[in-house]
Amino acid sequence: MLMFGRMEAYKGLEVLCDAMEIFLREGGEGTLHIAGAGPELDRLEGRFRSLPSVDVTNRFLPAAEIIDKMGACDGLVLPYLSATQSGVLSAAFANGRFVVASRVGGIVDVVQDGVNGLLVEPNDAGSLARALSRLSGDPGLRERLRAGALETARARLDWSKIAAKMISEYQ
């Protein structure tokens, strides 16, 4: 799994750290990659680095490097505490990657639980850890969610389709 971007408090990085501690304590297997920069990662970097199978890149990454990191993972984790929308979510789907995301803001307008991602309650490390465990133990689920994410990108997030819909509604 991958989490990337500007690491601010609303992104729920501390919830992710708590969830990874639960996940690993309960025998979960899988790697978490965290890439980006910001005050929350600065504050929590030591805790993340103390966890096995967590890789931290604490710096701004150019787009090409983010695309490479996305290509190397199954999905992205968005444990946001609040959000109106997410460019990270759109990027994930465009690259055929599902998300595990908090049930907040505009995220629930795009993520269909069990179709293109998994939704968890915000600020609930246990819920997030359970979702990660479910994914860890079910490669078929990961593949179905990836297919659903790509289909969502093609059907709902394609700019030509969005523009055509807007034009038809304003004519």
Task: Please provide the average confidence, as pLDDT, over all residues in the chain.
Answer: 93
**pLDDT at position 22:** 98
Beta bridge partners of 37: 6
Task: Provide the 8-state DSSP code for 3.
Answer: E
Is the pTM higher than 0.85? yes
Average pLDDT over residues 80-92: 87
Q: Residue 57 in contact with residue 4, Cβ under 8 Å?
A: no
Q: Is the pLDDT of residue 164 over 80?
A: no
2-169 CATH = 3.40.50.2000
pLDDT value of residue 161: 61
User: For 65-71, what is the mean pLDDT?
Assistant: 93
- Give the model confidence (pLDDT) of 115-148 as tens digits: 999 999 999 999 999 999 999 999 999 999 999 9
d(CA 92, CA 153): 9
Supply the pLDDT for residue 148.
97
Report pLDDT for 171. Answer: 76
* Predicted pLDDT at 134: 97
Residue 162 has pLDDT above 60, yes or no: no
